[in-house]
Amino acid sequence: MEKIAFFGLGNMGGPMAANLAKAGYTVAAFDLNSDALVQAQQDGCIPCESAQQAIEGVDTVISMLPSGKAVKGLYLGGEGLLQQLPAETLVIDCSTISAEDACLLSEAAVACGLRAIDAPVSGGTAAAQAGTLCFMCGGDAAAFDAAQALLQVMGGKTFHAGAAGAGQVAKICNNLLLAIHMTGTAEALQLGVDKGLDAKILTEIMRESSGNNWSLANYNPYPGTMENVPSATGYSGGFSVALMLKDLGLAMDAASTSASSTPMGALAKNLYQLHGTSEQNQQLDFSSIQNMFRRPAGS
Ligand code: NAD
């Protein structure tokens, strides 16, 4: 069975690597955080002490890192992994980064005789655990086809959006919309509660009405409306405010290079920026934007 090197075992990468190991692949795992490596071992992966150790004898490299800086740090430059991988190795970067950085990585990989796709995901940590992520990919069609078997283990839906970087463009469009409907959902739920409605009943009503959307139905931001979502656990885990702010920054940068109008996204970014002023809020799940709308007790 194919051997995979997996980099970045956080909220998303941890369960993705675990699913590959469960499916029978040999997964050599590396993360800068030693706790993540302990968990990876419990999940059936082989914990590695260095990136170099992880890539020994691999056919495919998968990364799920927090930023473009981390991705470029891992792969590019004189000490970068691309230079050390055997020809034809398939590189699948699932991190959300700019389309420009994804193109840079793709070009460098091709120059080293490797195959590469950008394959950012949607679905959140629950989908990462369940193996039902949606992959939006950019790059050569043959490399996309070669990645299919692995992507199918980690998620049921895979799309080829176009050339290198196209997966990242699709991803930031999606997350721009996600930020808009999450903030809108939080605003509407709070209005209902302030007017005396029960958030759970209001949710049921809007789920059957024209206000229905993913944030309301699958990731409800109002505590007490739903189980197994971050709002049920004090907004811990999930997709951090810091990562949402990164994605909204990427979306705004992308919009400026195509002179696209994105006022709704700009407003959502502004709200997340205000919410994320405290370091503590930055680490909360992005549905904690609900707290921006909640009245202080007694007011
Ligand atoms: P996370 O912060 O939980 O995990 C990132 C992991 O990468 C950490 O464990 C960190 O130690 C590790 N890391 C950083 N640099 C490294 C390096 N050079 N080598 C090895 N490991 C390194 O983040 P996450 O929530 O898992 O998100 C990862 C990516 O997935 C981000 O790009 C994010 O935007 C994207 N994403 C997240 C979600 C979500 O719901 N959390 C959903 C879709 C996409």
For 255-288, how does the pLDDT look when each residue is reduced to its tens digit (9 = 90+)?
Answer: 999 999 999 999 999 999 999 999 999 999 999 9
Number of H helices, E strands in the chain: 14, 9
Determine, yes or no, domain membership for 299.
no
Residue-level pLDDT at 264: 98
Determine, yes or no, domain membership for 223.
yes
Q: Which of 69, 171, 200, 269 is catalytic?
A: 171
Q: Is 157 a catalytic residue?
A: no
At residue 156 the predicted structure's pLDDT band, cuts being 50, 70 and 90, is confident
Question: 173 with 153, same domain?
Answer: no
Domain boundary among 112, 145, 164: 164
Q: Does the pLDDT at position 126 exceed 80? A: yes
**Contact criterion met (CB below 8 Å) for 148 and 180:** no
Question: 181 with 225, same domain?
Answer: yes
Determine, yes or no, domain membership for 173.
yes
Determine, yes or no, domain membership for 145.
yes
Contacts with 103 (C-beta within 8 Å, 6 or more apart), sequence order: 164, 165
Helix (H) or strand (E) holding 158: strand 157-162
Report the nearest-CA residue for atom 34 of ligand 1. 96
Question: 235 with 198, same domain?
Answer: yes
Determine, yes or no, domain membership for 83.
yes
Q: Which domain holds residue 247?
A: 169-293
Q: Distances in Å between the alpha carbon of 162 and those of 136, 168, 206, 220?
A: 9, 10, 35, 32
Indicate if ligand 1 lies below 6 Å from the C-beta of 178.
Answer: no
Residue-level pLDDT at 77: 77
Residue 243 CA to ligand 1 center (angstroms) comes to: 9
Distance in angstroms (rounded) separating the CA atoms of residues 236 and 263: 29
Determine, yes or no, domain membership for 127.
yes
Residue-level pLDDT at 155: 96
Residue-level pLDDT at 115: 97
**Contact criterion met (CB below 8 Å) for 161 and 167:** yes
CATH number, domain with residue 138: 3.40.50.720
Indicate if ligand 1 lies below 6 Å from the C-beta of 121.
Answer: yes
In the block, tokens 């509407």 appear at: 188
Q: Does the pLDDT at position 223 exceed 80? A: yes
User: Structurally, how many domains does the chain consist of?
Assistant: 2
Question: 155 with 14, same domain?
Answer: yes
Indicate if ligand 1 lies below 6 Å from the C-beta of 175.
Answer: no
Of all atoms in ligand 1, which is nearest to the CA of residue 13? 26
Residue 246 CA to ligand 1 center (angstroms) comes to: 12
Of all atoms in ligand 1, which is nearest to the CA of residue 96? 32
What is this structure's pTM? 0.94
Kind of pairing between the strands at 115-118 and 134-139 = antiparallel
Distance in angstroms (rounded) separating the CA atoms of residues 111 and 106: 9
Residue 204 CA to ligand 1 center (angstroms) comes to: 33
Residue-level pLDDT at 191: 97
What letter does residue 260 receive in the DSSP assignment?
Answer: -
Of all atoms in ligand 1, which is nearest to the CA of residue 9? 9
Helix (H, G, I), strand (E, B) or coil at 10: coil
Residue 285 backbone phi and psi in degrees, to 5:
-60, 150
Report the nearest-CA residue for atom 14 of ligand 1. 65
Q: Which of 113-117, 208-212, 223-227, 292-296 has the lowest mean pLDDT?
A: 292-296
CATH number, domain with residue 223: 1.10.1040.10
Report the nearest-CA residue for atom 44 of ligand 1. 121
Determine, yes or no, domain membership for 298.
no
Residue-level pLDDT at 124: 86
Q: What does the pLDDT look like over 56-115, one tens digit per residue?
A: 999 999 999 999 999 999 999 777 999 999 999 999 999 999 999 999 999 999 999 999
Question: 194 with 52, same domain?
Answer: no
Question: 41 with 100, same domain?
Answer: yes
Residue 111 CA to ligand 1 center (angstroms) comes to: 26
Question: 12 with 117, same domain?
Answer: yes
Percent with pLDDT over 70 in the chain: 99
Report the nearest-CA residue for atom 42 of ligand 1. 124
At residue 130 the predicted structure's pLDDT band, cuts being 50, 70 and 90, is very high
Question: 68 with 191, same domain?
Answer: no
Helix (H, G, I), strand (E, B) or coil at 196: coil
Q: Does the pLDDT at position 196 exceed 90? A: yes
Residue 283 CA to ligand 1 center (angstroms) comes to: 13
Determine, yes or no, domain membership for 255.
yes
What letter does residue 120 receive in the DSSP assignment?
Answer: -
Question: 108 with 32, same domain?
Answer: yes
- Asked if the interface predicted TM-score (ipTM) of this complex is over 0.85, the answer is yes
Distance in angstroms (rounded) separating the CA atoms of residues 216 and 206: 8
Residue-level pLDDT at 166: 98
Q: Distances in Å between the alpha carbon of 37 and those of 4, 13, 283?
A: 15, 11, 21
pLDDT, the chain, mean: 96
Helix (H) or strand (E) holding 46: strand 46-47
Q: Does the pLDDT at position 299 exceed 70? A: no
Residue-level pLDDT at 296: 73
Residue 92 backbone phi and psi in degrees, to 5:
-120, 110
Distance in angstroms (rounded) separating the CA atoms of residues 224 and 207: 16
Q: Distances in Å between the alpha carbon of 261 and those of 55, 228, 256, 266, 269?
A: 43, 36, 8, 9, 14
Domain boundary among 138, 164, 190: 164
Helix (H, G, I), strand (E, B) or coil at 117: strand
Residue 136 backbone phi and psi in degrees, to 5:
-115, 115
